[in-house]
Structure 1
């Protein structure tokens, strides 16, 4: 059984940074991500959450385009979030809602590696930005939606 791919792999003229797609999201908050043309269609974040359980069980994943690389990136981030919320020991209770919220908020603003950085875990699958302008654009997309 093959892994599930992003429904955005066949989209024409998708902007990319490195070889990762910049896809629309369903939000009313203004930022560098494109606005979704069809708000009834699931965006890449909803798609990542829906496909997380199925795709994280696959050992191999054929990357069919830049949208699949973004899907993989989100699946890794979701996995980090789940690991952050897991109790440190089976005998210890899971964190309370305020503790979990604080933990995930900290994870969201912590330093993270981007494709092309030395600490990025999957540099063999991702190309780094071509130049400093593209690197700055990728940080703006990932950090708080600032443009």
Structure 2
């Protein structure tokens, strides 16, 4: 039986179609229970930031796993690195993390087909707080990986992925207009 063409008439691939046909990396973090907000899991993380995520002392958490698989799964096409050193990168990531952003159910959220809209205002506030906490911690850890600890210069092995998109979607960021 021939494979179905996952592209629509416009030549664009639907997110759900892409998720069904592409190889996926499965999380090693399968034990324990996670709270839910909408259909988003509130997973425990090692964090220096306050938020609704439970604290964990495990060596690896969901942020470590996401960064580990970043190069294999996520390729940005239009993100331009404008930081010359780690300190500026950390400051930019902190500013990005606390800036206003859309959550599932809002018009500007790029992955609305994947996540359910929060059912109440308190659930929306919890989701926004959780995503803010993840953004803060992820930004800190990403800067630790991207910038060399000794020289403070960006790693060419991370920057080579700076001009790609994820699932043909632009996930807008600090000071940049995508698409």
Question: TM class by shorter-chain length?
Answer: 0.5 to 0.7
Aligned to 1:126: 115
Question: What does 1:1-147 align with in structure 2 at a 5 Å threshold?
Answer: 2-8=23-29, 10-11=30-31, 13-27=33-47, 31-36=51-56, 39-56=57-74, 83-84=79-80, 86-87=81-82, 95-144=84-133
Question: How far did 1:12 drift?
Answer: 5.0
8 A contact 2:105–2:117 mirrored in 1: yes
Distance in 1, Cα, partners of 2:74 & 2:103: 21
8 A contact 2:53–2:130 mirrored in 1: yes
8 A contact 1:32–1:141 mirrored in 2: yes
Root-mean-square deviation (Å): 2.9
8 A contact 1:116–1:123 mirrored in 2: yes
Q: TM-score, normalised by structure 1?
A: 0.62
Q: 1:12 to 1:43 in 2, by over 3 A?
A: closer
Q: TM-score, normalised by structure 2?
A: 0.53
Distance in 2, Cα, partners of 1:29 & 1:108: 11
Consecutive unaligned residues of structure 1, counting only runs of 5 or more, are 58-78, 88-93
Aligned length in residues: 113
8 A contact 1:113–1:120 mirrored in 2: yes
